[in-house]
Amino acid sequence: MGITAMIPDTTIGQLYVEADSRWGEIWDDKAARMLILLMFPRKHRKMMELHGDITEHGQPVMTVFHRPREEAKLLEKQGFDARSASFQFVDIASLDLGSWMQQLIVQEKWLRGTIDIMPVPFSMGLPAQRGFETMNILCFRHPDISPLERYYLPFPPSSIPGKCFVSLPRRQAAELARQQAEVLGVGRLVRKTKIIEQEAPIEALPPEVKSTEEAGLDAVIDNFSDQIMEGIIAQAEEIVNVELPNNPLDTPATMEETTTEIISSVTNNVEIPSIEEPEEVIEMSDVEIEFRALVTELIDAGVAPTEMMDDPRWEDISERAMATGFETWPVFLELTAVQ
């Protein structure tokens, strides 16, 4: 089994250059590798993006999708409907090809053949067009997809820009993550050294020896302090308790009742405004609203989630969603999971 990661804005050729720095020991630059083309219905694209998660392989597998646009005319001349299929180029180690295709061929009855990858004629005037030599590679197609002899590209397959899906072997990827964590110091216990500061011994000061004059001055001050304290004590003994007037209006209970009445009268005359919190409004694009409505309509009609993609409106909405950057798959899972 593998772990699939999506790397945006890159090419297979660029991943080749960065392979050693990205994957370290997982990448074997001496391993024989090959390029193949997979053709399948568009509704299977999400599953094929994560095909490496359910397949055993020993080396990284790099894939990229290509959608023919102006090149679709060249496919239609061969009697092939370009809108019926997704095209996935897979760069894989030769030893991993058998396990990668085993389930597709044995269980789903995929068909094997060859196909010529040819450059688009310069007469079409496509921008950023680059010439390359014609390549004859293996091609595996879903049984629902018609055969195709020639596939046209404006540049080599290794230079197709976009989202590349890389599947790394799970065990090696886990080991690589552990090694990187050790390099970064993650999860390691750093022993702290306890530093004990030894206090310097305090030297005892010699007793202070007072002179005769200082001793006499201290005696005078002590005598004066004693006289002051005797006077304060004598005055305190002469204090007589004085009774306070017994006025019921000044009792704490009466004052508390008066205060309560004042507060209640004030609060009854003042209107306290109510604070209403505004409800959070989630804005949705027109494409998302239309997509949600379509899925909800199909669910109400009793259509199974696996058959919803056969609806003719599905493909049109999916293309417009992809153009605006809206991911339909999470919303589809959310709506079908609720049901």
List, in sequence order, every residue forming a beta bridge with 34; answer none if it has no partner.
92
Per-residue pLDDT for 265 more than 50?
Answer: yes
> Are the C-beta atoms of 154 and 67 separated by less than 8 Å?
no
- The predicted structure's pLDDT at residue 192: 43
CB neighbours of residue 172 within 10 Å: 19
* More confidently predicted of 214 and 91: 91
pLDDT tens digits, one per residue of 320-332: 887 777 777 778 7
- The predicted structure's pLDDT at residue 148: 94
- C-alpha angle 85/318/3, rounded to 5°? 70
Task: Report the C-alpha dihedral over residues 137, 140, 146, 149, rounded to 10 degrees.
Answer: 10
In single-letter form, the type of residue at position 306 comes to: T
- C-alpha angle 319/312/64, rounded to 5°? 35
Residue 199: pLDDT band (50, 70, 90) is low
Walk across the sheet containing 2-10 and list its strands: 2-10, 162-169, 61-66, 86-93, 33-40, 135-141, 111-119, 150-153
For residue 105, what are the contacts with CB-CB under 8 A and spacing of at least 6? 112, 140
pLDDT tens digits, one per residue of 128-157: 788 899 999 999 999 999 999 999 999 999
> Are the C-beta atoms of 5 and 166 separated by less than 8 Å?
yes
Comparing C-alpha atoms, which of 108, 104, 96, 103 is closest to residue 2? Answer: 96
Residue 183: pLDDT band (50, 70, 90) is very low
Measure the CA–CA gap between 111 and 92, rounded to whole angstroms: 18
Continuous segment of H or E residues that includes residue 106: helix 97-106
Per-residue pLDDT for 257 more than 50?
Answer: yes
pLDDT tens digits, one per residue of 165-174: 999 998 777 6
* More confidently predicted of 209 and 285: 285
pLDDT tens digits, one per residue of 297-312: 888 888 877 777 778 8
Question: 41: burial class by Cβ within 10 Å (0-12, 13-18, 19+)?
Answer: middle
Measure the CA–CA gap between 66 and 48, rounded to whole angstroms: 13
Helix and strand counts by DSSP (H, E) for the chain: 11, 8
3-state SS track over 201-224 = CCCCCCCCCCCHHHHHHHHHHHHH
Phi, psi angle pair for 266, to nearest 5°: -70, -45
Per-residue pLDDT for 111 more than 90?
Answer: yes
